[in-house]
Amino acid sequence: MTIKIAYLYYDLLNLNGENGNIKILKQQLEKQNIKVELVLLTTTDNIIGESYDLFYIGGGTENHLRIALKHLQKHQQTIHQAIENHKFFLVTGNSLELFGKKGIGIFDFEEQTAEKPFQEVILETDFVGKGIIGLLNQKKDIIETKYPFFKNSQQGIHYINFFAPKVFGPIFAKNPLFLEFFLKQLVLFKYPFFTFQPIEFEFEEMAYYNYQKLMHKKLVE
């Protein structure tokens, strides 16, 4: 059994250690005895949508996003078709901009400038019982989206198997419950009868709950 991952713009979009998401996911898949074929793609490469089970794009600087966008525009139809064909996408941080009206236009959302600082947040989802912790860049706010990722914020999109939380992280390092959810969804989509070995995140969960308590304490204060 193999999961094939396309890591798009690995050399451009890796702000705040975003490549950690791929490292963590690969490690957990291999613990399940699933082979991972990781393909690194950049602006000189072609994108073949049906070749991959998962596309990953991390966050980056505005200049690097512009470079990536020029390449992504050439593959708009391929990417759109892959999304509609239920291929998995994980798009973190500000790379969600690439898919909006000012990007390749797959999702009908715009952003407005909001000069706010980076801050740690806990945002609720329908995926896991606990909130998701992440670093949110609020210099650009999504005005409105039909497919919100979070229940209490517009800062993200979830559509079919397209997951785009607009938080930096890496999100999998800070959120073991979301990692487990995403891992199982990805594997079961391709191998519906797969039997998972126990997934243990003892230290990760301890760190998550301690950090969550600290965040709630700060909010109360």
What is the domain count for the chain?
A: 1
Evaluate if residue 221 carries a pLDDT over 60. no
Read off the pLDDT of residues 19-54 as tens digits, 9 standing for 90 and up. Answer: 999 999 999 999 999 999 999 999 999 998 888 999
Interior angle at CA 172, CA 169 and CA 173, nearest 5: 70
Q: Report the alpha-carbon distance of residue 181 to residue 85 in Å, rounded.
A: 20
pLDDT-based confidence at residue 220 (cuts at 50, 70, 90): very low
Q: Residue 15: is its pLDDT beyond 90?
A: no
∠ Cα 171 173 179 (to 5°): 70
Three-state secondary-structure class, residue 173: helix
Confidence of residue 214 (pLDDT cuts 50, 70, 90): low
Specify the range with the lowest mean pLDDT, choosing from 22-31, 102-111, 157-166, 212-221.
212-221
Model confidence band, residue 128 (pLDDT cutoffs 50, 70, 90): confident
- Token look-up 């901009």 returns 97
The Cα diameter of the chain in Å comes to 51
- Rank 32-36, 100-104, 127-131 by mean pLDDT and report only the highest: 32-36
Q: Is 192 helix (H, G, I), strand (E, B) or coil?
A: coil
Q: 153: which 2 tokens?
A: 């914020």
- Residue 122 pLDDT: 86
Over 19-86, what HEC string results? CHHHHHHHHHHHHCCCEEEEEEECCCCCCCHHHCCEEEECCCCHHHHHHHHHHHHCCHHHHHHHHHCC
Range of the domain at 194: 2-220
- Tens of pLDDT, residue by residue over 78-92, are 999 999 999 999 999
pLDDT at residue 187 above 60? yes
Confidence class for position 135, pLDDT limits 50, 70, 90: confident
Site of tokens 């393909």? 39
In this prediction, residue 174 has a pLDDT band, given cuts at 50, 70 and 90, of confident
Check which CATH number belongs to the domain holding 112 and give it: 3.40.50.880
Q: Residue 203 is encoded by which pair of tokens?
A: 């230290």
Q: Give the pLDDT score at 217.
A: 54
Residue 133 confidence (pLDDT) above 80: yes
Distance CA 94, CA 48 (A): 24
Q: Confirm if 43 and 74 have CB atoms less than 8 A apart.
A: no
Least confident window among 19-28, 93-102, 130-139: 130-139
Residue 26: closest CA among 7, 49, 48: 7
Query: Phi then psi for 132, rounded to 5 degrees?
Result: -100, 130
The predicted structure's pLDDT at residue 114: 65
Closest among 110, 215, 102, 212 to 157, alpha carbons compared: 110
Q: Which run of H or of E encompasses 140?
A: strand 140-142
The rounded distance, in Å, linking the Cα atoms of 133 and 211 is 9
